[in-house]
């Protein structure tokens, strides 16, 4: 597997972890921006502890963190995550997923993976994807994966010393760092937002966001492990995954469960595709946050992490199984609902 990009200088390797360990390095001073406050550093550690209690892989996830004012053009962006990326042949990914499989969710995913060295996907077949053409079918033989997900699948060493991600927070926002008594009405849940961004560093990413942003050729727009779960009603009928952009519903297919997904900022529903669909309470990986909102994990978050290669703790497996069993009638698929800078955008919602 080839390494496509690194975000920052290498960090010192630590000893092999017994389970997931998330290590933060404050790069603010080196990057010419403010160092994190003790509260912010503690908030990142608290968010890490949440994930570490749910995922069991012997992985050290190395995350550079920073905080600064994002400026006038980004007043609605609370934070973003950008990942180191790798790429390789599809046969490598399929082999790693078979070797890693340990749950019923894994089995459901493996049953959908093509057996050959190539796969067919639905994509916008144009040279410059800034203005996507009508979706069509295309054959590919390569995939893309970020560092955290590659470590979970054993595709790179679990204690690899290179940084896996950068997470930055917009210092223009007021944050609540204590979730014990809820979140203040005029503040953002720092720990919840940090947990969301860590989710992207763990592999909750989609090439659809690169396609939606333009500047990619079809051949260079490589599907991620999450994308191999992505379906539309059109692609489901054909037995292929869907990384195209149009106004139709998209969902992650896990057995009989379909988890609704966002479809793109520019050419989709207005939210980045590397998120659940907004405003229906699907979980930590929803695309927007409100002032005063306490962000929480759901079984959908955990089922997806299981599906892309992470091993869940017994408690997390139980929660994920509950989500997998709660299939709407007649089926989830029949529901006709009319930096990578993965930003968590602020949107004020009406009370529900």
pLDDT value of position 129:
61
What is the total count of domains within the chain? 1
Instruction: Give the mean pLDDT of 86-97.
Output: 97
Between 344 and 202, name the one with better pLDDT: 202
pLDDT value of position 342:
28
The rounded mean pLDDT for the chain is 86
pLDDT at 42 over 50: yes
pLDDT value of position 263:
94
Exposure class string for 172-199: b at 16+ Cβ within 10 A, else e: ebebbbebeeebeeeebbbbbbbbbbbb
Residue 352 resides in a domain: no
Query: Cα separation of 142 and 223, whole Å?
Result: 8
pLDDT at 310 over 80: yes
pLDDT value of position 266:
87
Helix (H), strand (E), coil (C) string for 38-73: HHHHHHHHHHHHHHHCCECCCCEEEEEEEEECCCHH
pLDDT at 233 over 60: yes
Top mean-pLDDT range of 13-27, 120-134, 195-209: 195-209
Token digits of residue 161: 């010393």
Residue 257 resides in a domain: yes
Query: Cα separation of 284 and 344, whole Å?
Result: 11
pLDDT tens-digit readout, 321-351: 988 886 543 333 333 222 333 234 443 332 2
Instruction: Report residue 177's pLDDT band, with 50, 70 and 90 as the boundaries.
Output: very high
Between 333 and 144, name the one with better pLDDT: 144
Residue 307 resides in a domain: yes
Strands 342-346 and 77-83: antiparallel
3-state secondary structure of 126: coil
Residue 129 resides in a domain: yes
Q: How many angstroms separate the first and last alpha carbons of the chain?
A: 47
Helices (H) and strands (E) in the chain, counts: 9, 17
Residue 308 resides in a domain: yes
Strands 342-346 and 288-289: parallel
Token digits of residue 40: 């912010």
3-state secondary structure of 289: strand
Work out the percent of the chain whose per-residue pLDDT is above 90. 72
Strands 257-261 and 250-254: antiparallel
pLDDT value of position 172:
93
pLDDT tens-digit readout, 20-31: 999 999 998 777
pLDDT tens-digit readout, 103-133: 999 999 999 999 999 999 999 876 666 566 7
Task: Yes or no: say if 190 and 175 are a contact pair by the CB < 8 Å rule.
Answer: yes
| Domain range for 246 | 2-346
Q: What is the pTM of this model?
A: 0.89
pLDDT value of position 3:
52
Helix (H), strand (E), coil (C) string for 132-195: CCCEEEEEECEEEEEHHHHHHCCCCCCCCCCCCEEEEEECCCCEECCCCCCCCCCCEEHHHHHH
Residue 49 resides in a domain: yes
Instruction: Give the mean pLDDT of 39-49.
Output: 97
pLDDT at 181 over 60: yes
What does residue 187 show for φ and ψ, rounded to 5 degrees? -135, 165
> The sheet that has 2-3: what strands, in order across it?
2-3, 85-89, 142-146
Residue 351 resides in a domain: no
Residues 6+ apart with CB under 8 A from 169: 40, 65, 66, 67, 78, 79, 175, 190, 193, 194
Flag the least confident range among 44-48, 79-83, 225-229, 333-337: 333-337
Token digits of residue 342: 């993965």
């Amino acid at each position: 597997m080839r390494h496509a990009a690194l975000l920052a200088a290498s960090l010192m390797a630590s000893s092999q972890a017994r389970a997931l360990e998330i290590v933060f390095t404050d790069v603010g001073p080196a990057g010419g921006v403010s160092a994190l406050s003790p509260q912010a550093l503690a908030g990142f550690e608290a968010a890490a502890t949440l994930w570490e209690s749910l995922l069991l892989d012997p992985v050290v996830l190395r995350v550079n963190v920073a905080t600064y004012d994002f400026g006038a053009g980004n007043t609605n962006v609370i934070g973003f995550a950008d990942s180191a990326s790798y790429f390789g042949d599809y046969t490598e990914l399929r082999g790693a997923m078979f070797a890693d499989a340990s749950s019923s969710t894994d089995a459901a995913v493996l049953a959908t993976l093509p057996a050959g060295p190539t796969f067919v996907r639905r994509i916008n077949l144009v040279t410059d994807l800034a203005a996507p053409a009508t979706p069509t079918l295309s054959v590919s033989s390569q995939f893309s994966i970020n560092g955290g997900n590659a470590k979970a699948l054993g595709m790179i060493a679990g204690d690899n010393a290179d940084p896996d991600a950068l997470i930055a927070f917009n210092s223009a926002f007021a944050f609540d760092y204590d979730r014990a008594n809820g979140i203040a009405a005029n503040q953002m849940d720092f720990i919840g937002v940090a947990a969301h961004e860590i989710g992207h560093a763990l592999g909750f990413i989609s090439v659809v966001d690169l396609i939606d942003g333009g500047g990619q050729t079809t051949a260079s727009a490589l599907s991620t492990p999450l994308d191999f779960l992505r379906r539309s009603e059109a692609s489901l009928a054909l037995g292929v995954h869907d990384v195209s952009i149009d106004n139709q519903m998209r969902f992650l297919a896990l057995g009989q469960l379909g988890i609704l997904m966002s479809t793109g900022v520019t050419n989709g529903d207005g939210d980045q595709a590397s998120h659940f669909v907004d405003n229906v309470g699907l979980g930590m990986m929803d695309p927007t946050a409100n002032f005063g909102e306490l962000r929480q994990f759901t079984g959908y978050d955990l089922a997806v992490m299981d599906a892309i290669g992470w091993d869940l703790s017994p408690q997390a497996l139980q929660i994920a199984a509950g989500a997998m069993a709660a299939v709407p009638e007649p089926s989830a698929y029949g529901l006709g609902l009319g930096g990578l800078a993965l930003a968590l955008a602020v949107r004020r919602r009406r009370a529900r």
